[in-house]
Amino acid sequence: LEAIATVEPRIAEATRQELADQRASLKLIASENYASPAVLLTMGTWFSDKYAEGTVGHRFYAGCQNVDTVEALAAEHARELFGAEYAYVQPHSGIDANLVAYWSILAHRVEAPGLEKLGAKNVNELSEADWESLRGQLGNQRLLGMSLDAGGHLTHGFRPNISGKMFYQHQYGTDPETGLLDYDSVAAKAREFKPLIIVAGYSAYPRRVNFAKMREIADEVGATLMVDMAHFAGLVAGKVFTGDEDPVPHAQVVTTTTHKSLRGPRGGMVLATEEFAPEVDRGCPMVLGGPLSHMMAAKAVALAEARQDSFRTYAQRVADNAKSLADGFLKRGARLVTGGTDNHLVLVDVSTFGLTGRQAESALLDAGVVTNRNSVPADPNGAWYTSGVRLGTPALTTRGFGHDEFDRVAELIVDVLSNTEPGTTKAGTPSKASYVLGDGVAAKTKDASAEM
Ligand code: PLP
């Protein structure tokens, strides 16, 4: 920090303050964690200065021998950890990983057969007219993903996201009574819509998914199954999710972030079967430019950590702690979406406290509990105000919290929410004394999804 302070002291100060704030609060954001010192240090090296477009042994720049070592090691750890046939570790983020996956599937399923029919090896050989016709087919495909309010992610076909514009998209939800995935209803939608790609995976669904069933559905309609395991990759790595709950043996393409339950640096990754590997391997230049070599190095370190026995213990504790947190809420009368959890997250419906998600999030922040508001299924308050708060156990489990601590966390949250009243003060600056908040009743019904 001293070196930073000599150049821009305000950045040094903000960095120091961030550490102090993270230490002073309870981090319950389900997508966050604490990376190890080894991972943090690896992110800050001179690999950051190196350009390395291309792939291992096949670069568009000279002098990439050490980046080759780093990328090959990160991919090897990923393949070994997840039992994947192929791993691509270049994506800078989860959204990049999903874009690489989508374009790889399109290249494999639509572009390659199109080129073959036209007698060309690559798109550069095509005449303008043939290229136009192939482009038309690429832009005419269908995607079926989980809806945002049921727990899916923006990149699974949400209209304001690029995925909702690249594809004709359709969404599946959850059973309105139970909040659980209804595989028969997913199958019915797939039969009717006939998508090229079915996306499984979630950001806010507090249950496990049967990926074997999802693959059956995909096979029946001729779709490729893509699983976005960004949120629960740590539980897959730690062998908490096995068999039908492990996406890797069932999906042709699996994407993930590396910074959530997997506890690595910020970044993304794509795993694939041999069949899809050649297209995924062309993520650069298809979607990406120069990979972030320092981040690939940090991914290698984090993946090596995740291959240790201690990570399995950690992952099991993440899931056990989520149950303790859920039980803590249920015994104090709170309502949880799906009535509980069997992964790393809990979704509390705060409407029973007479609050919007936004109000609850502000009140909890004021009490030193960092969460994020989240839609609940068929949320009447829209995606901006919401009716839920999403909580996750990965970060506090890293800090050593166990059953008793998570029970206390539930008690604290119920206490804060029960003593919070919707008021008229400015949103985000709640009164410390009374937890009086903004976003009054009139605001509650405003559908602000357009603001996203
Ligand atoms: N996929 C899922 C399921 C996510 O939950 C997220 C992020 O929250 C992403 C993708 C996007 O990851 P990133 O923020 O790294 O782009």
How far apart are alpha carbons 353 and 350 in whole angstroms?
Answer: 5
Confirm whether 213 is a catalytic residue: no
Task: Read off the pLDDT of residues 204-228 as tens digits, 9 standing for 90 and up.
Answer: 999 999 999 999 999 999 999 999 9
In this structure, are residues 156 and 133 in contact, taking their beta carbons and an 8 Å threshold?
no
Which entry of 32, 34, 53, 79 is annotated as an active-site residue?
Answer: 53
- pLDDT category of residue 447 using cuts at 50, 70 and 90: very low
Question: Which band of pLDDT confidence, cut at 50, 70 and 90, is reported for residue 423?
Answer: low
CB 223 within 8 A of CB 197: yes
- In this prediction, does ipTM exceed 0.90? yes
Atom of ligand 1 nearest to the CA of 93: 15
Annotated binding-site members: 148, 152-154, 274
**Whose C-alpha lies nearest to ligand 1, atom 10?**
94
Which atom of ligand 1 has the smallest separation from the CA of 98? 10
Element containing residue 97 per DSSP (H, E): helix 94-106
Whether residue 234 has its Cβ less than 6 Å from ligand 1: no
Whether the Cβ atoms of residue 120 and residue 111 lie closer than 8 Å to each other? no
Task: Report d(CA 334, CA 340) in Å as an integer.
Answer: 11
Give the residue-averaged pLDDT of 318-331. Answer: 98
DSSP β-bridge partners for residue 174: 181
User: Tokens in use for 410?
Assistant: 């539930």
Q: Dump pLDDT digits (tens) for 262-279.
A: 999 999 999 999 999 999
Per residue in 178-208, pLDDT (tens digit) is 999 999 999 999 999 999 999 999 999 999 9
Pick out the residues of the known binding site for (6S)-5,6,7,8-tetrahydrofolate: 148, 152-154, 274
Q: Report how far residue 300's alpha carbon sits from residue 307's, in angstroms, rounded to the nearest whole number.
A: 11
Are the CB atoms for 88 and 71 separated by under 8 Å? no
pLDDT band at 422 (very low <50, low <70, confident <90, very high): confident
Contact 75, 301 (CB under 8 A): no
C-alpha 364/C-alpha 324 separation (Å) is: 19
- What local confidence, expressed as pLDDT, does residue 424 receive? 34
91 Cβ below 6 A of ligand 1: no
Within 10 angstroms of residue 400's Cβ, the number of other Cβ atoms is: 8
